[in-house]
Structure formats: C-alpha cells, structure tokens
C-alpha cells in the first residue's frame, strides 16, 4: 500500500482544508494512506506527523485556515533541513509528498524533487501569483472578502463625501487589487506591475468631484511603490478632498472558502493523488481555461505571472 505525506506551507489560504479533504478521501478510494505533516516543512524536519483518516477530514471543507497548520521554514532552505526532511519521509515509508502552498513552498518542493522525492504541488495562496495556473486556491475568497469590506467602506465614504484608499494584499502580484477593483466598482487601482502615477489618481478624484461624485474608492496593493499613508497625503493635497485609508491585512486570509475555491481545491487535490497513483513524475497541478492541468513542478516555478492589462483598461472604462 502506498503512503502519501501531505503538508500545507506558507501563508494560509481559504480552501487549504478543502484540498486536504480531497487528497485524503481520494487516497482512501484508491487504497492509499495519508500522513499529515504539521506546520509545513517545519513539521517535516521535526517529524511532527499525524494519521489522516477519511473521518478526520469530515466537516472541514467549509473552514478557513488549515487543520495541518502552516509555517514558513527558514531551516528547510538549508542542506541540513532538506536532508532531515527526506530522512523523515523515508522513515515513515512515504512514497510521495503533496505540498499545498504558494510560490515559496513550491520552490522547496522542487528542491526535494531534485533529490529524488516524488512531489505534487497544489496551488494554495490568496495572492494568485503562480504563473502556471489561471487561479490559485484562496484567491477568489480573498477577492470576495475585499468586496465585502469595500461595500462597508462605501457606506461611510458616500455618507461623508470622502475618498478612501483600501490597501489589499499583493507584494508582487496585483491580482487581488485588480479583480476587487473591477468588481468592487473602484475608481482607480494601483498595482505593483504598473509604475505609480499619483497625478493620474488626483486627476481621477478631481474628475469625480467635477461631476458631483464626491466619494471615491481607490484600491492599492501593498507592494506598490508608495506607502498608503503617503498616498493619502498626496491625494489630499492634490485634490483638497478628505482622504482616509483602511489596511485590510490578515482579514483577507481567513473566512470560509468560496464555492470556486472549494471546487478548485477539490479538483486539484484529487488530481494530485491520481497522478501519484499513476506513477507520474513530480508535477504542479493547476487550472488552465476550465481544465485541470499539470506541468513539471520545475517549470511551474519558472513561469512568472503576467498582469492582465485588459482588465486594467476595463476598470478605467467602467469607472467613468
């Protein structure tokens, strides 16, 4: 009987539990055992493992966070850490490792793969910054969480005729700002992929004022090259309007996963086990168009996410 190791790594993302459930239950139907590794690569190094049965993943599909806990592991970046990890995998007769995480976690998985471990990557990060897949697990929930916040902020902004800057997550990838900006009806968005143009922001706010639209919502990704506090000042100075900011921070990571994220988690988690069952080599699972697809995990980490410029110009048109 095969044995799979399963871990969640990096920042938590809504849908990780749905992916865990899919891996464990699919493994069960194929007669494969699943060992849960706690706190990502940290638990792998420290041999902190639990048995996962089909019952132990019941009633978790709707929960945010991860029952396996997660961590970022500095030690795992060293030879020592990786050797210890492999030693522990062997000790438990684990044939393959499923890694649920983002870019950094996949790089760690690559390292293991190069050393002969069969690894499957399931893309879990709210940032949507993995270039090989159209969407990552957690992204849709995060965008909906931002929309919910924007809707509340809009009540206050429009009652007070105020411009509000909402800072969302995204250090290198502006997708949360881009999607939430378009669907939240934001007046302007700032993302790391596009150079900051504070003049354009000021112009946009002034244009609204001219039309008696005295409240304005600006969404800014955290990775943008101006601090939110500075942007507030610049916009206030340039427009004479009252400007306030809200930093959504860790709010965006939690919450019950959306239908879309649970679906993606179920499909990719399940596919990871099928690939292991079919004696595949190490792969990263993702979604392309409407299809679940997989590519070599080494290739996966080499593909940089491209910003969707069409959406950017659509925001401009639709916020008119």
Query: Please, which of residues 172-191 interact with a second copy by CB under 8 A?
Result: 179-180, 182-185
Of 5, 12, 41, 175, which one interacts with a second copy (CB under 8 A)?
12
Q: Which stretch binds a second copy (CB under 8 A): 98-106, 157-165, 219-227, 294-302?
A: 157-165
Q: Which is nearer to a second copy, 117 or 150 (CB)?
A: 150
Which of 131, 223, 238, 255 binds a second copy (CB under 8 A)? It is 255
Cβ distance to a second copy smaller for residue 113 or 222: 222
Of 12, 103, 111, 127, which is the active-site residue? 127
Q: b/e map of 226-263 (b: 16 or more CB within 10 Å)?
A: eebeebbebbbebbebebebbebeebbbbbebbebbbb
Q: Does 2 bind a second copy (CB under 8 A)?
A: no
Task: Identify any residues that bridge with 247 across adjacent strands, giving them in sequence order.
Answer: 167
251 is a site residue for a second copy (CB under 8 A): yes
| Residue choice 91, 160, 171, 304 for contact with a second copy (CB under 8 A) | 160
Nearer to a second copy, 113 or 266 (CB): 266
Q: How far is the CB of 52 from a second copy (least distance, A)?
A: 13
Q: Residues with Cβ < 8 Å from 292, sequence gap 6 or more?
A: 267, 268, 271, 285, 286
Give dist(CA 11, CA 101) in Å, integer.
Answer: 8
The nearest distance, CB 117 to a second copy, in angstroms, is: 24
By CB under 8 A, tell whether 227 contacts a second copy: no
Q: Exposure pattern of 47-68 as b/e (b: 16+ CB <10 Å)?
A: eebeebeeeebeebbebbbbbb
Contact call for residue 163 and a second copy (CB under 8 A):
no
Instruction: Compose the 191-220 pattern: x for residues touching a second copy by CB under 8 A, - for all others.
Output: --------------------x-x-------
Per CB under 8 A, 306 contacts a second copy: no
Which of 110/166 has CB closer to a second copy?
166
Whose CA is closest to 73, among 111, 36, 29? 111
Active site residue 134: no
Q: Which of 20, 94, 153, 232 binds a second copy (CB under 8 A)?
A: 153
* Residue 70 sits in the site that holds a second copy (CB under 8 A): yes
8 Å CB contact between 109 and 297: yes
Look at residue 17 and give its three-state secondary structure: helix
For residues 285 and 106, the answer to whether their CB atoms sit within 8 Å is: no
Other C-beta atoms closer than 10 Å to the C-beta of 20 total 29
User: Sheet containing 283-288: which strands, arranged edge to edge?
Assistant: 49-52, 33-37, 3-8, 96-101, 118-123, 283-288, 291-296
Q: 10 Å Cβ neighbour count for 279?
A: 10
CB of 251 to a second copy, least distance (A): 5
The answer to whether the CB of 252 falls within 8 A of the CB of 126 is: yes
Q: For a second copy, which is the closer residue by CB, 54 or 115?
A: 54
Q: How far apart are CA 83 and CA 75, in angstroms?
A: 11
Would you say 118 or 126 has its CB closer to a second copy? 126
Considering only residues 110 through 149, tell me which ones interact with a second copy, judged by CB under 8 A: 134, 140, 143-145, 147, 149
Q: Which member of 5, 21, 32, 301 binds a second copy (CB under 8 A)?
A: 21
Residues carrying an active site annotation:
127
């Amino acid at each position: 009987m095969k044995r799979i190791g399963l871990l969640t790594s990096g920042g938590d993302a809504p849908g990780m539990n749905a992916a865990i459930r899919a891996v464990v239950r699919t493994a069960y139907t194929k007669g494969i055992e699943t060992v849960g590794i706690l706190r990502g690569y940290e638990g792998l190094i420290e041999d902190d493992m639990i048995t996962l049965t089909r019952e132990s993943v019941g009633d978790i599909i709707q929960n945010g966070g991860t029952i396996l806990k997660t961590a970022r592991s500095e030690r795992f970046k060293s030879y020592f850490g990786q050797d210890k990890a492999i030693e522990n995998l062997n000790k438990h007769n684990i044939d393959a490792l499923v890694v649920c995480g983002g870019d950094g976690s996949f790089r760690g998985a690559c390292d293991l793969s190069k050393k002969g471990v069969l690894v499957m990557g399931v893309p879990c990060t709210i940032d949507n910054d993995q270039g090989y897949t159209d969407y990552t697990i957690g992204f849709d929930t995060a965008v909906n969480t931002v929309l919910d916040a924007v809707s509340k902020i809009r009540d206050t902004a429009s009652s007070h005729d105020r411009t509000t800057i909402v800072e969302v997550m995204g250090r290198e990838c502006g997708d949360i700002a881009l999607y939430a900006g378009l669907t939240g009806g934001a007046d302007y968005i700032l993302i790391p992929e596009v150079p900051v143009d504070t003049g354009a922001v000021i112009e946009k706010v002034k244009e609204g004022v001219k039309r008696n639209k005295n409240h304005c919502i600006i969404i800014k990704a955290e990775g943008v090259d101006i601090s939110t506090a500075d942007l507030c000042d610049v916009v206030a100075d340039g427009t004479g309007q009252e400007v306030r900011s809200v930093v959504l921070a860790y709010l965006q990571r939690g919450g019950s996963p959306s239908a879309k994220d649970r679906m993606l988690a179920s499909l990719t988690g399940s596919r990871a086990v099928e690939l292991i069952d079919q004696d595949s080599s190490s792969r990263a699972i993702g979604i392309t168009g409407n299809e679940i697809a997989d590519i070599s995990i080494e290739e996966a980490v080499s593909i940089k996410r491209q910003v969707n410029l069409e959406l950017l110009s659509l925001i401009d048109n639709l916020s008119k």
